[in-house]
Amino acid sequence: MEDKQYRCQICGRMVKTEHALGHIKAEEYIISLIKKDHPEWNDKGVSCPQCLNYYRELVDKTEI
């Protein structure tokens, strides 16, 4: 069985299917931050855990 990979829309890394995170799970604010930094990003693709964790940490450190 072939191990399918996807390219992270944020950093360009190749990500294995089991590590690719669909954006339906991401919080709305995180999505807005990603779109601000990466206007080409869309919710039809996938992103790697490292990039989503980066944005989650930004939210954790920000008082909103």
**Per-residue pLDDT for the chain (64 aa), expressed as one digit of tens each?**
567 888 888 899 888 777 665 555 557 788 888 999 999 998 788 889 899 899 988 877 765 4
Q: Using an 8 Å Cβ cutoff, are 29 and 62 in contact? A: no
pTM equals: 0.61
Question: What are the domain boundaries of the chain?
Answer: 5-61
Distance CA 58, CA 5 (A): 27
Angle (CA) 30-33-39 rounded to 5° is 125
Quick one: pLDDT at residue 39?
94
Confidence at residue 50, expressed as pLDDT on a 0 to 100 scale: 93
